[in-house]
Amino acid sequence: MKKIDSTKRYEMLKERMGNGDMDRRSFFGLLGAAGMYAGVSGGIMTAMAQQARAAGTELYFEGWGGVVSEALRKHAFNPYQEATGNKVVDSTFGGEAEVLTKIKAAGNTDGHNILHSSGVSWYKRWVDAGYGSELNLANIPNVENVMDAIIAPFKAITPNSLSAIPYDYGTTGIAYNTKHVSAEKAKELGANLLLDKELKGKIGAWGGDWANRAWYGALQSNQDPNNIEDWDAVWDKARENRDLVLKYWSSGAELMDLLAKEEIYVTEAWSGRVAALQAQGHPIAYMDPPNGLAWMESMFVLKGSPMAEAEELLNFMLDPATAIAVAEGQKYPTSLDPNKVEMTDTIKALPAYDPTGKLDKLVFRDPVVWNEVEKAQSKQWNRVSKGG
């Protein structure tokens, strides 16, 4: 039988798979056959097989859905797939707690690689649970453009390595329908707008995070959310709010739907989702009350993930052109430093955007303080939410 140069045979087979003429199983089978016919083993065939497998690696991504996932898919995942041949399989979660529960039940992280993780508190929780990875930052050179202020809290938890790269930030403020609530009233009441009895049955709230409910309960009881001394007062305010709420929403998509259809007039809300509603022409205003909650989100890579491909994806996502396009699409500012990367007017106009790159005017949840009380206070919220 005539021998065919192994490299040419490999390229022919790779082209056929790329054209859809064969599946990956057939490709690897014929790749092995090509090695035997060409009389090669070890080095060349091992390297080619590794390249082939790398070209077909699947990365499983879990995020928040809606406009956020749409922006990531359009501006990051699809271009990355076209550039590398790797595939990003994305899905939506209702919250990271459900992902953690699934992983613990399974006893492994199979099918879970990268999470659009909610800030430093969850970063610490994942690391403490033993699911942190160790990113090789040399493979993510675009990390040099990330704000020092946004990456420092993560380094404080894992000073010797990082399991995630901060990607965006925003605030959980208050959205209100300007047809039914005046700007003057909103400014006067601040966080107490969510306790306005005149709006009973037209108030919404996020029910998926006990800490969010507690943060607003602290503001409404005139306490520093990062130094709560009277938890009874916090939950009394949560009860007061509960009795006025039409519905606890569970996702950004549901939040937007309730506001767009005017089923609710007032709710705490994520800044980017409100910006998306405003872009659609809805009469929704947004304010951050004093000491309102700011947060940062990261791309967290779980232990056991294909690290080289994950690092390649993160670097791709941090490319200024990609990061800016995603930020404009999802309506949350990018983690890139505006002193290093020129931002567009669209990003500069986003809620929570900090032109200084220092984030010193935003108030973030202290992960040590909040994680320590989670067990007891999350149980208390469960009781309150059920009428207790």
Concatenating the DSSP letter of every residue in 107-147 gives: TS-TT--EEEE-HHHHHHHHHHTT-B----GGG-GGGGGB-
Please give the residue that has the higher pLDDT: either 1 or 75: 75
* Res 384: pLDDT: 95
Q: Is residue 1 part of a domain?
A: no
pLDDT at 2 over 60: no
Looking only at the bridges linking them, the beta strands covering 58-63 and 87-92 are parallel
Residue 107 sits in the same domain as residue 234: no
Residue 110 sits in the same domain as residue 241: no
pLDDT at 38 over 80: no
Mean per-residue pLDDT for 216-245? 98
* Res 66: pLDDT: 86
Both tokens of 57, joined, read: 């690696």
Residue 15 sits in the same domain as residue 90: no
Closest C-alpha to 175, from 333, 279, 284, 331: 284
Q: How many domains does the chain have?
A: 3
Both tokens of 330, joined, read: 């999802």
CATH number at residue 347: 3.40.190.10
Residue 333 sits in the same domain as residue 276: no
Q: Is residue 353 part of a domain?
A: yes
Residue 193 sits in the same domain as residue 248: yes
Mean per-residue pLDDT for 336-365? 95
User: How far is residue 329's CA from residue 346's CA, in Å, rounded to a whole number?
Assistant: 10
Q: Is residue 216 part of a domain?
A: yes
pLDDT over 90 for what percent of the chain?
80
Mean per-residue pLDDT for 336-361? 96
Residue 179 sits in the same domain as residue 146: no
Beta strand segments in 66-131, E: 87-92, 114-117
Q: Quick one: pLDDT band at residue 11, thresholds 50, 70, 90?
A: low
What's 12's DSSP letter? Answer: H
* Res 15: pLDDT: 54
Q: Is residue 268 part of a domain?
A: yes
* Res 55: pLDDT: 54
Average pLDDT, the chain: 88
Domain, as residue range, for 145: 59-169+295-364
* Res 16: pLDDT: 53
Q: HSE-up of 237 (CA within 13 Å, CB side)?
A: 23
Mean per-residue pLDDT for 165-189? 97
Residue 72 sits in the same domain as residue 201: no
pLDDT at 160 over 90: yes
Instruction: Quick: pLDDT tens for 66-93.
Output: 889 999 999 999 999 999 999 999 999 8
* Res 6: pLDDT: 42
